[in-house]
Amino acid sequence: MTSTLETAGAPAWSVDTMKAAVVTEFGAPLEISELPLPAPGHREALVKLETSGVCHTDLHAAQGDWPVKPQPPFVPGHEGYGTVVALGPGVDDLEVGDKVGNAWLWSACGRCEYCRTGWETLCEKQQNGGYTVNGSFGTYMLVNVDYAVRIPDGADPVEVAPILCAGVTVYKGLKETETRPGQWVAISGIGGLGHVAVQYARAMGMRVLAVDIDDAKLALATRLGAEIALNARTTDVAAEAHRATGGMHGVLVTAVHPQAFGQAIGLARRGGTIVFNGLPAGEFPASIFDIVLNRLTIRGSIVGTRQDMVEALDFYARGLIKPMVTTAKLEDINDIFHRMERGQIDGRMVIDYR
Ligand code: NAD
Ligand code: ZN
Ligand code: ZN
């Protein structure tokens, strides 16, 4: 059967299936499948994808790493970029042909205390792209028009994709460290998130110390403007950070090993703020005495609001952020995950559907 979606002013557009990478079971390889094309509901749009970044969160999702799990079968992906091809009912603020992205914050209720007070990222009724709603690891996806990301003119389809999660997450996370221009911030974990975090921190006027366990990633951080780069496998990073700078005013952890989280606390100077973006399953030990006596603030930070997204994209559009990207095909997804698990990806892998 062929479904036909017609939109005012646009030619009738007809196709009945799409190709997607589907998680059928946690920990199993994703299956490349033909799925029925979804029809956009009220205030939704159907988007033909051009690119999608691959975030480590997609790997956590596919492995069922977190206490709150998605429900297989599902399609991961929340750094998708493409073109609106059909509109559901009630849409007067988006047109066929517009360039949009999906995001982790696929929708929120818009009415609860969190939504009303600028904390829509904490909405208990939120839907998440590639987790509770099918995402961008497919040739088409649905977006919620109220939360879909409007992509600035002139954006490169491949480079802009990582901004939609990695970019907005670290931009918000850096703001949450409350580090001011001229002060020191440590970025722990120089992967997809961390390598753009170094660039945002520099653009925001901060001095950057990078921490990773891989020398190639530290070399990338240095090229991107980190003044100090420390290997946590071979260096006592806390001691070295304090010796060289007096300690960090802010610390942003984007690493995927719990060990980095306890270690991050030791990087901070007295009064410092440590923000956790990374989400490995697990726990870490922390000294209550050090936290109290040093008046440390430790907080989590989850993606960013729509306004944070506008700001994060604006840094990109002004040429201040240039994600380091390698393209691949949808069929490569299991290989990408395999390399991601081993820390073998420099920057971000982006699926190119074109
Ligand atoms: P990635 O795989 O691209 O990068 C992870 C990096 O961590 C790698 O460079 C790796 O070498 C480094 N690393 C591993 N162990 C380390 C250690 N002990 N010390 C320092 N560095 C170490 O992953 P990514 O896509 O950048 O995502 C990172 C994490 O952030 C994931 O857990 C992901 O789920 C999470 N995330 C959170 C949010 C949020 O809103 N809070 C948003 C996106 C991603
Ligand atoms: Zn993500
Ligand atoms: Zn809400």
User: Which-ligand-closest: CA of 230?
Assistant: 1
Share of the chain above pLDDT 90, in %: 95
pLDDT of residue 334: 98
pLDDT of residue 3: 41
Say yes or no to pLDDT of 15 above 90.
Answer: no
Average pLDDT, the chain: 96
CA of 43 to the centre of ligand 1 (A): 34
Judge whether 334 and 340 are in contact, CB under 8 Å: no
pLDDT of residue 234: 98
CA of 79 to the centre of ligand 2 (A): 7
Of ligand 1's listed atoms, the one at least distance from the Cα of 255 is 7
Of residues 5 and 102, more confidence is placed in 102
Closest CA to ligand 1's atom 39: 302
Check if 139 has its Cβ closer than 6 Å to any atom of ligand 1: no
Share of the chain above pLDDT 70, in %: 96
Question: Residue 5's pLDDT band (boundaries 50, 70, 90)?
Answer: very low
Check if 168 has its Cβ closer than 6 Å to any atom of ligand 1: no
State how far the Cα of 5 lies from the Cα of 142, in Å rounded to an integer.
14
Say yes or no to pLDDT of 224 above 90.
Answer: yes
Q: Which residue from 70, 94, 98 is spatially nearest to 83, judged by alpha carbons?
A: 98
User: Which-ligand-closest: CA of 340?
Assistant: 1
Of ligand 1's listed atoms, the one at least distance from the Cα of 194 is 26
pLDDT of residue 14: 57
Average pLDDT over residues 226-231: 98
Alpha helix segments (H runs only) across the chain: 56-63, 113-116, 157-160, 166-176, 192-203, 215-223, 237-245, 259-267, 288-293, 306-317, 333-341
Check if 279 has its Cβ closer than 6 Å to any atom of ligand 1: yes
Check if 197 has its Cβ closer than 6 Å to any atom of ligand 1: no
Q: Which residue's entry shows tokens 């001011």?
A: 180
The sign of the CA dihedral 103, 104, 107, 108 is negative
pLDDT of residue 213: 98
Q: How many Cβ atoms sit within 10 Å of the Cβ of residue 182? A: 9
Say yes or no to pLDDT of 314 above 60.
Answer: yes
Check if 277 has its Cβ closer than 6 Å to any atom of ligand 1: yes
Judge whether 98 and 59 are in contact, CB under 8 Å: no
pLDDT in tens, 123-158: 999 999 999 999 999 999 999 999 999 999 999 999
Say yes or no to pLDDT of 11 above 90.
Answer: no
Say yes or no to pLDDT of 66 above 50.
Answer: yes
Q: Identify residue 58 by its one-letter amino acid code.
A: D
Q: Which residue from 137, 147, 53, 57 is spatially nearest to 106, judged by alpha carbons?
A: 147
Q: How many Cβ atoms sit within 10 Å of the Cβ of residue 246? A: 11
pLDDT in tens, 238-296: 999 999 999 999 999 999 999 999 999 999 999 999 999 999 999 999 999 999 999 99
| Ligand 1 pocket test, candidate residues 52, 57, 339, most atoms within 8 A of CB | 57
Check if 189 has its Cβ closer than 6 Å to any atom of ligand 1: yes
Closest CA to ligand 1's atom 15: 257
Closest CA to ligand 1's atom 44: 57
pLDDT of residue 111: 98
Check if 291 has its Cβ closer than 6 Å to any atom of ligand 1: no
Check if 136 has its Cβ closer than 6 Å to any atom of ligand 1: no
Question: Residue 39's pLDDT band (boundaries 50, 70, 90)?
Answer: very high
**What 3-state class would DSSP assign to 332?**
helix
CA of 255 to the centre of ligand 3 (A): 29
CA of 42 to the centre of ligand 3 (A): 18
